[in-house]
């Protein structure tokens, strides 16, 4: 069947896929030539050994389509694509929220924007506006500025101001707020079991602050708000209508449609159709590297084919595509990628991160051999990187032996590992804010080795344990540098 070329262009204009490799695959070049909105970078698209490669890749994309939208998750802290294998050099949201200096947050936003400009990226997928009211939240945690709506609001506005000051669009996420969920939407469909009135009181204020700050895009959350219906927010006209009712006139971007919350419920293709009908405008297809054996073009064709079929069946009107495409075009024309510089004298990353870290007890370790007992959870797909910056950094000051125990290890097994170690011990954890396997494992280790130092890369507990602990509030490269300095007594 022959498909009208004009209709293909209308469909492509609302699609934002990921892709494999560090160069432009042929299918992607063709799609850009036929109106594709742009691409989202993930770690596999960046050659970390070649500083000039991201800019060359972006230049190649712009050589095909000059107004291409190139997005990247650059939150600072744990989440980066441009520095996926090196670790971010920027303070994370939780550290910035703890320091609570909006000028510092604005500077970090500008630094993130400058990094994006250097790589040819013109949409930063951040900041995170979620208010962390659920300490057991498996996917937000230290990606949030904190648990107080007013604090989160002022830092969201400051970071948007910083990012957009260099001509890059910010895309705040995840509307209407992912901070009170117990489920990772990469793996299942979460529910936000709160009344809409409670959501408006606690979780919407940072998004309203983002709108006031002139944010150019808002990313949806794949979460169900039962009071507004069974469809997740990304596919829910009532939820997205609420965003518009608060005065947002920019582009509504979906979270990735390949996430299990959509793919394993309605499917990525039908989900794309429903998202457009609900009011979304730019459809983020997702990261083909998240599932072994997945082929990037197949994900793109699945969503593209579903939209074409929906138009043919009369389910999706051409007018919906036209309105969404016009919004995406406005986003593409809202800024310009030009050389950007940051006043490094204003703030420096290491002192800023150090201010965002707290220390309980004595954390000095003897020089020489060091065993790291790593009880952390597997990184989420949002973080993506398998980098262990702490082990890498500590190896600069110690002879390191890392034992990956994992969070499912029994407390008895963790204690046995500690007993077998003859020298200094560091315990790496990231789920210390609530009771569970990790906290039990840490307790068992310090019960038999009281000199162990715990590095908590996650949210802090309401009451710290009776052991030496560094609450790092993140696991970035710069955080690991500061932690190494704290435990070894050397300069970061």
- Tens-place pLDDT, residues 204-245: 999 999 999 999 999 999 999 999 999 999 999 999 999 999
The model's pLDDT over 310-367, given as tens digits with 9 standing for 90+, comes to 999 999 999 999 999 999 999 998 765 555 566 655 678 999 999 999 999 988 787 8
Q: Which pLDDT belongs to residue 341?
A: 61
Indicate the domain borders of the chain. Answer: 5-332, 357-488
pLDDT of residue 226: 96
Q: Which of 255, 258, 374, 471 is catalytic?
A: 255
Rounded to whole angstroms, the Cα distance separating 322 from 6 reads 11
C-alpha radius of gyration, the chain, whole number = 23
> Is 437 annotated in the active site?
no
Q: Is 255 a catalytic residue?
A: yes
Question: What percent of the chain clears pLDDT 70, i.e. is strictly above it?
Answer: 95
Pick the closest to residue 240 from 306, 190, 182, 174 (CA basis).
Answer: 174
More confident residue, 428 or 377: 428
Sign, Cα dihedral of 395, 399, 405, 410:
negative
| CA pair distance 115, 422, nearest whole angstrom | 44
Instruction: Render pLDDT for 9-54 as a digit per residue (tens, 0 to 9).
Output: 999 999 999 999 999 999 999 999 999 999 999 999 999 899 999 9
Task: Tell me what pLDDT residue 342 has.
Answer: 61
Quote the percentage of the chain above a pLDDT of 90. 76
Active-site residue, selected from the candidate residues 93, 174, 178, 186 = 186
- Written out in words, the top-level CATH class of the domain with range 357-488 is alpha beta
Pick the CATH number of 5-332 from 3.40.50.2300, 3.40.50.1360, 3.40.50.300, 3.20.20.300: 3.20.20.300
Contact 92, 139 (CB under 8 A): no
Q: Is 443 helix (H, G, I), strand (E, B) or coil?
A: helix
Higher pLDDT, 328 or 290: 328
Q: Sign of torsion, CA 112 72 293 271?
A: positive
User: What's the predicted TM-score (pTM) here?
Assistant: 0.95
What CA–CA distance (Å, rounded) separates 474 from 14? 34
Range of weakest confidence among 74-78, 332-336, 404-408: 404-408
Q: Which one is predicted more confidently, 182 or 236?
A: 236
Given a cut of 90, is residue 182 above it in pLDDT? no
């Amino acid at each position: 069947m022959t498909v009208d070329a004009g209709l293909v262009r209308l469909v492509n204009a609302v699609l934002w896929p990921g892709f494999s490799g560090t160069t432009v695959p042929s299918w992607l070049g063709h799609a850009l030539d036929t109106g594709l909105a742009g691409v989202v970078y993930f770690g596999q698209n960046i050659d970390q050994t070649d500083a000039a490669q991201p800019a060359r890749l972006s230049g190649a994309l712009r050589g095909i389509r000059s107004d291409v939208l190139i997005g990247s998750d650059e939150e600072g802290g744990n989440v980066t694509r441009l520095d996926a294998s090196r670790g971010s050099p920027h303070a994370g949201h939780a550290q910035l929220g703890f320091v609570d200096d909006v000028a510092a947050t604005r500077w970090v936003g500008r630094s993130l924007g400058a990094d994006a400009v250097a790589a040819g990226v013109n949409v930063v997928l951040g900041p995170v506006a979620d208010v962390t009211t659920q300490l057991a939240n498996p996917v937000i945690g230290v990606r949030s500025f904190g648990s107080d709506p007013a604090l989160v609001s002022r830092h969201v506005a400051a970071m948007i101001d910083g990012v957009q000051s260099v001509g890059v669009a910010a895309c705040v996420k995840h509307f209407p707020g992912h901070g009170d969920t117990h489920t990772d939407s990469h793996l299942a469909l979460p529910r936000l079991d709160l009344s809409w009135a409670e959501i408006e009181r606690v979780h919407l204020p940072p998004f309203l602050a983002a709108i006031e700050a002139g944010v150019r895009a808002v990313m949806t959350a794949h979460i169900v708000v039962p009071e507004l219906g069974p469809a997740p927010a990304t596919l829910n006209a009532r939820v997205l209508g609420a965003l518009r009712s608060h005065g947002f006139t920019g582009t509504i971007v979906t979270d990735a449609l390949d996430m299990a919350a959509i793919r394993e419920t309605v499917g990525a293709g039908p989900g794309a159709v429903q998202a457009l009908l609900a009011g979304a405008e730019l459809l983020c297809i997702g990261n083909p590297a998240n599932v072994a054996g997945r082929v990037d073009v197949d994900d793109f064709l699945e969503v593209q084919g579903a939209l074409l079929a929906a138009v043919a069946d009369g389910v999706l009107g051409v007018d919906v595509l036209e309105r969404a495409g016009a919004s995406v075009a406005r986003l593409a024309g809202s800024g310009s990628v030009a050389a950007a510089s940051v006043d490094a004298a204003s703030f420096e990353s290491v002192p800023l991160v150090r201010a965002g870290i707290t220390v309980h007890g004595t954390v000095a370790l003897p020089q020489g051999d060091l065993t790291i007992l790593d009880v952390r959870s597997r990184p989420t797909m949002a973080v993506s990187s398998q980098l262990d910056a702490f082990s890498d950094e500590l190896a600069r000051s110690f002879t390191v032996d890392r034992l990956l125990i994992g969070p499912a290890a029994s407390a008895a097994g963790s204690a046995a590992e500690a007993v077998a170690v003859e020298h200094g011990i560091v315990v790496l954890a990231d789920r210390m804010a609530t009771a569970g396997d990790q906290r039990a494992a840490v307790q068992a280790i310090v019960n038999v080795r009281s000199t162990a130092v715990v590095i908590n890369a996650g949210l802090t507990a309401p009451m710290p344990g009776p052991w030496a602990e560094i609450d790092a509030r993140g696991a970035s490269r710069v955080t690991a540098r500061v932690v190494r300095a704290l435990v070894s007594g050397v300069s970061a």
